[in-house]
Structure 1
């Protein structure tokens, strides 16, 4: 795929203490195959769906051990300038922009409510080879306990236009780049245990949501929500055996009317 417009989710990776366990799990659940590890880049290992690069897994670096989580990267034409906007708008830069060989420049950051994300300035690696096909990235939502700060941060750092679902029963916003909706933001309710921090939830596309959930739970995943059919598809939220949250969605199986949208 070509370099994506600024603010578009363009890549995802995760650190796993048990790298082989992660490869086995996602290979079974999402049908991924894996390339050769790159020792010069900390054994970074790309995942493929039908020979299309869709994600990567990597063992933690010394001192970075902890619960695994998926990190979503947003496209930027200038990672250093994006890092400055992150700092200027109440975020924290966890890793200063760093060139990764010829592949591009990466930066890691935390938005004001605590969700960690990445910034990617493409070089030879432009991001996802495919999206919204089985095994590939489909969608993401920022789950936050402080939606006002998160919304203000996102629209200040990236060229987003915000809109919301016109329903008093739910606090959910979506962010557009041009005519394309690229990201969601959900308020974390009391249903979330207080020790769960804000995070970015990544949705992976599957052919059959129920079958994917069955494979995942058989391998030790925890099902948190669903499967449920919505106007956007049939989806479920899980955490993998190493604690990384993710969702699966079958976009072909949808029912119900699309929600009413109001511009902010």
Structure 2
């Protein structure tokens, strides 16, 4: 995972690593460091695993100490790196080297507090959404999905910062489909986003495990409590309606199976 362009996890957009997108290269330092650490771990040199977790601990301490001065791209990169570390920690189980869960959780909570605001949503600021803005927002959305699914596996306190829990929705909106996520350039992305624009709808996953279709352009934002919709709001049950899984999963990337797995855990 993360050692080649073709093996990036589906919550990290290739453009973040292989094309200039952030304000400067230093903004993506947490993600670059994560990739370097993954290469070290993959080397299987004696002592590499111990050294890997020692460096992860140092990164988490740095995140907690320095995050208040960062911008949105560095917050995003740090949360993506932390997501990788947490997945590895769950897969590996507790050892003498990785036993600092509290520090990883504290780092996620501290950084999430910066991204968990309406100001971080470009489309809510009254300006046209650019490809760069869309990559940021879609990356943030996909991270939210991962962290909420982690919370289904183990108690993960930062996941409860999401105000969707008050709305009977667990994940909303669900990630965009593969053609948008894998668009090679802005022209391809814009062409894909404008294709059958009127037919495009947003989907969500209810806390019951049901796939739902968000109605009439309903704005559901787990980063903005005042915009969370509930079944009884403005039209009652028409706020969303049941949907078929094939309506959403067709054309999805690796996230499709992940969301369906989450649904099976709820149902």
Structure number with greater CO (CA < 8 Å, separation at least 6) is 1
Computing the radius of gyration over CA atoms, which structure comes out larger, 1 or 2? Answer: 2
TM-score > 0.5, shorter chain as reference? no
Judging by fraction of residues, say which structure has more strand: 1
Using structure 1 for the length normalisation, give the TM-score: 0.31
